[in-house]
Structure 1
Amino acid sequence: MTVTTAPEPALRRGVTGPGFFALAFGTIVGSAWMVLMGEWVSPAGPGGAVLAFMGMTLLMVPIAAAYAELVARVPRAGAEFVFVERAFGRWPGFVTGWFLTLYFIGIAAFEGLALSWFLENLFPALAGQTPLYTLLGKPVSAMDLGVGLTGAIVMTWLNASGATVAVGFQKVVTFAFLAASALLVVIGFAQGDPANWHPLFESAQGRSFGGGMFVMLGVAGMWLAGFQTAASAVEERAPGTSFTTVARAMMGAVAVAAIFYSLIILASASLIPWHDLNSGALPVAAAFDHALAGGVATKGILLVAMASLLKTWNAMHLSATRVILAQARAGILPATLAHIDARTGAPRRAALLVGLCTCLGVLAGRGAIGPIISMGTMCTTAIAALALFALMRLRATDSSGEKPAFLLPGGKPLLATIAIGATIVATAAIATPFGISAGMPVEIWLMLGWLAVGVALVTGRHVMTRPQNPPPQGEDVP
């Protein structure tokens, strides 16, 4: 007797253009701008920082367009994992998906740890608690665990409720953040003095202006990445939402992020001499407090930064859930993780797993923040470069003669150029920890351990046998 099982229901479709923009922009712009302003203006001055962000947009916008062509060719949840698996096969796909999972979950844990730190700055009475334990050289308090674990539970609930709920939350927070940011910029320019920008182009790090600009271009490339999360939700496009709309959302998110960074740099640097932005843990808040007495600015900016953090966390959780779903569909992870809840149309089991892993990351405490950021930078830059080579491969092997619904303009020369640019950025990101560490960087050991766990898991599951009941296919373009 042959027993057949019903195919899994499809992911519920309901994400529109504003939702894709909110996912992309919400991941690009987190809370780093508040903490790292001094590191942005030091290499080449405020003018150099603005030039770097606007110049790097010329690379990142075409990369976003290349991703739009990829999602048009492979319109499935899982983003880079499904692109690479389709182009190069299952083992390259496995490595891509496994490290993509590490990146998404690691950054989600980072957001939980950062949220606790922001709350301590907003309410100083919460700081100074007796640590519960020490890990990776940093104390871990009940505040860290309470905030991080509660946030992980909330994000898990949002994403287990379906893309409509999670992306709806994303849109509200993202557009509220943009409105608050516009107000900050207006205050900065109204209360500040452009004379504080001078010298507009100068390195404060003892290097030449050209050397500072080279550093800042790498920084700008890193902080304009993140639009890729929108690709994770392509299978959940609302009916009538075209691939061109998805492309415009991702490219627009990069451009708006670059404009935001540039304006907040100039607004902050107009309030106090820009060399002073190198001091203090929260330089942007310090600059605005100079214009608005009483600490009102610090509290307001902290609230804005916390809202920004939440949207990044939500987007990372959603993306991690979809890449786990995609790996389960391909037979790399247990098939049970490919389950779609019939009521919500969401990959609920995958969302719960992401929540659990985020909680484990939060337990590592603030000592894990440095390695998480370093691993995330290496993963996302290397995988972005690999995705562009996957697009080259898919173009070369496409024998259908049909053009995808969206095509990167510029032909082979543009694709080759941005692939080379992305490879240079990835190489710099991977080399950086080796230049800082005296021996083998701890993040490299962690990544090798993560890879070993993944290989053991996969080989233990009958060497990547595909599931007997693959996900419903229907049309190739959902």
Structure 2
Amino acid sequence: MSEGSAPAGPALRRGVTGPGFFALAFGTIVGSAWMVLMGEWVSPAGPGGAVLAFLGMTLLMVPVAAAYAELVARVPRAGAEFVFVEKAFGPWPGFITGWFLTLYFVGICAFEGLALSWFLENLLPSVAGQPPLYTLLGKPITILDLAIGLAGAAVMTVLNAAGATIAVGFQKVVTFSFLAASAMLVLLGFAQGDPANWRPLFESAQDRSFIGGMFVMLGVAGMWLSGFQTAASAVEERAPGTSFRTVAKAMTLAVLMAALFYSLIILASTSLLPWRALTTGALPVAAAFDQALAGGIATKGILLVAMASLLKTWNAMHLSATRVILAQARAGFLPSMLAHVDARSGAPRRAALLVGGWTCVGVLAGRGAISPIIAMGTICTTAIAAVALLVLMRLRAMNEGGSAPAYVLPGGRPLLLSITLGATIVAIAAVVAPFGVAAGVPVEIWLMLGWALLGAMLVSLRRLWAAMVLTRIDRQGMSRA
């Protein structure tokens, strides 16, 4: 299939505009982690160091987002990094990339289901404390965990099976509502807070130097500014009249807005309480805003905002996983039934159902799977981002002397080389990190090896089935002759 050609059969329905691409990108970058991880963000280098880290990493992530925009202009098909790598390096490198990209998307879907039940327990303490049904990975799993996680998976599956128009419409409503609520939250924090609580602005609360803490925070900021790649998954559903430059603006604006949100919520939260007080506790942002609104009103309001934010991330991840599976099925790696697009809705319903089923499996693993999921997601997304930039270098070389795509990353080769080097360093750090905190081979590495084995089995079964069908056709032809 050529880069601009449409697949055989019903096509994905085109209707995603600039605001939709922005909602997918921003909605994935900013989930609910800011509410839980605030203490971990300010501990390494203080609130000033955390803000500097997020703003500093923006200098890397904005060009990376623009590079992705050039990639989708060169290969405007569903499947994101899978189709990029397939075009540049061939089918098998593409499949390996796409298969682990699927793991990342599905893993985060499961994570959102597990996190949703935890937020609900904090919102309604009366439903917490139920007896466990079973224990897995060292954590008990209750009926509430399963009910909320599985119900959420069902809702996301139905939403995405209805097509991009419905799924992205939901994404826009939740994303822009979240931005409005966040603006009010930040204004409340600054109105009620005291800048004296920021002092010392640049200091580590850990057993490390400020410079060492800044290095830690730069890595953290890089991870929490990624996720804009989900917008690339919907490029085949780009509405007529929506240019690749519009897609580029949406993705880069999403990174900028995410960095601004993180910076403002850090400063607003730490103005309400001395920032060292936020380095302990499960919900530090809620604890800070309880200083502005007594009676637990702030905690409940922030939990509702965080739960809504979680849903938009979950929706975008489900949509992206569905498109990557669709692309792998189109290429012949996964069963052809997964390449089916519903003629009426223009949605890859079978792929959406598969993502929902895999999400349910992840939910059944319980909260003990959260840490391995985050670690696997970090490894996959950082490594694949570095690979994508290498792909762009390769595609430029392959097209040297040819016509330029509709959008090109500004800055030329020097900028592309610089961000590729930066992304590669971040990826290496992400791959090495689990080995520094676990004795032996970390759980997430075993899970990734198991996922690789599952992929090999599916491809083998697909090829075996195709061979059996061809043999049967040959025999029928011979018998008729």
Fold match, TM over 0.5?
yes
Q: State yes or no: 1:223 paired with 2:227.
A: no
Q: Distance in 2 between matches of 1:82 and 1:464?
A: 24
Quickly say closer, same or farther: Cα 1:59–1:464, change in 2 above 3 A: farther
The answer as to 2:289 corresponding to 1:288 is: yes
Distance 1:81 1:314 in 2: 20
Measured after TM superposition, the shift of residue 7 of structure 1 is 3.5
The 1:399/1:411 distance shift into structure 2, 3 A limit, reads closer
Query: Equivalents in 2 of 1:97, 1:435: separation in Å?
Result: 27
CA offsets, 1:239-276, max 9 Å, x none? 10000000000000000000000000000000000000
What is the RMSD of the two structures over their aligned residues, measured on CA atoms?
A: 1.4
Separation in structure 2 between the aligned mates of residue 27 and residue 464 of structure 1, nearest angstrom:
37
Do the aligned partners of 1:42 and 1:203 also contact (CA within 8 Å) in 2?
A: yes
Residues 1:359 and 1:172: Cα distance change in structure 2 (over 3 Å)? same
Per-residue CA deviations over 1:52-74 (Å, capped at 9, x if unaligned) read 00000000000000000000000
| Alpha-carbon contact 1:332-1:464 (below 8 Å) kept | no
Look up the match of 2:48. 47
Deviation at residue 449 of structure 1 after TM alignment:
1.0
Which whole-Å CA distance do the structure 2 matches of 1:457 and 1:173 have between them? 36
Q: Match for residue 451 of structure 1?
A: 452
* Cα distance in 2 between the residues matched to 1:315 and 1:204: 35
What does residue range 51-450 of structure 1 map to in structure 2 within 5 Å? 51-398=52-399, 401-450=402-451
Secondary structure class of the residue paired with 1:43 = coil
Q: Describe the superposition over 1:273-303 as per-residue Cα deviations: whole angstroms up to 9, x where unpaired.
A: 0000011100000000022110000000000
Query: Structure 2: how far apart are the matches of 1:413 and 1:39?
Result: 34
- CA distance in structure 2 between the partners assigned to 1:35 and 1:463 by the alignment: 47
- Deviation at 1:464? 11
TM-score, normalized by length of structure 1?
0.95
Shift of 1:463: 8.1
Stretches of 4+ aligned residues off by more than 2 angstroms:
459-466
Tell me how far apart the structure 2 counterparts of residues 130 and 43 of structure 1 sit (CA, whole Å). 37
CA contact (8 A) 1:458 1:464 kept: no
The SS at the match of 1:439 is coil
Superposition deviation, residue 361 in structure 1: 0.7
In the alignment, the residues of structure 1 paired with residue 226 and residue 466 of structure 2 have an alpha-carbon distance, to the nearest angstrom, of: 33
Q: Give the Cα separation in 1 of the matches to 2:257 and 2:179.
A: 10
Identify the residue that residue 462 of structure 2 maps to in structure 1. 461
Aligned AA (2:404): K
**1:331/1:465 contact within 8 Å kept:** no
What's the offset of the Cα at 1:447? 0.4
What's the secondary structure of 1:139's corresponding residue?
A: strand
TM-score by length of 2: 0.95
Letter in 2 for 1:147: I
SS in 1 for 2:291: helix
Distance 1:465 1:55 in 2: 51
Change (3 A) 1:400 1:13: farther
In 1, the alpha carbon distance for the partners of 2:207 and 2:351 equals: 49
CA distance in 1, matches of 2:278, 2:102: 35
- 1:18 is aligned to 19
SS at match of 2:257: helix
One-letter identity of the residue aligned with 1:417: S
AA aligned to 1:47 is G
Alignment of 1:19-34 (within 5 A): 19-34=20-35
**In the alignment, which residue of structure 1 is the partner of 2:474?**
none
**Number of residue-to-residue matches in the alignment:** 462
Q: Give the structure 2 partner of residue 475 of structure 1.
A: none
Aligned 8 A contact 1:76 1:234 in 2: yes
**Unpaired runs of at least 5, structure 2:** 1-6, 470-481
Q: Give per-residue Cα distances to partners, 1:68-88, cap 9 Å, x unaligned.
A: 000000000000000001101
Give the conservation status (yes or no) of the 8 Å contact 1:192–1:270.
yes
Q: Shift in Å at residue 456 of structure 1? A: 2.1
Partner Cα distance (1:400, 1:23) in 2: 34
Deviation for aligned residue 1:386: 0.2
Q: Deviations over 1:32-61 (max 9, x none)?
A: 000000000000000000000000000000
AA partner of residue 38 (structure 2): M
CA distance in 1, matches of 2:459, 2:79: 18
2:189, 2:209 → 1: CA distance? 29
Contact kept in structure 2, 1:321 and 1:351, CA below 8 Å: yes
Three-state SS of the structure 2 residue aligned to 1:460 is: helix
For 1:24 and 1:252, locate their aligned partners in 2 and report how far apart those are by CA, in whole Å: 9
Question: What's the secondary structure of 2:379's corresponding residue?
Answer: helix
- The answer for the alignment partner of 1:471 in structure 2 is none
> Structure 2: which amino acid aligns with 1:341?
D
Match of 1:291, SS state, is coil
* Residues 331, 464 of structure 1: 8 Å contact kept: no
| Cα offset, 1:458, TM superposition | 1.3
**Deviations 1:283-328 (Å, cap 9, x if unpaired)?**
0000000221100000000000000000000000000000000000
Specify every segment of 5 or more residues in structure 1 that has no aligned partner in the other structure, as ranges.
1-5, 469-478
Q: Distance in 2 between matches of 1:424 and 1:307?
A: 33
Tell me how far 1:400 sits from its aligned partner.
6.3
Q: What do the CA deviations read for 1:171-199 (whole angstroms, capped 9, x no partner)?
A: 00000000000000000000000000000
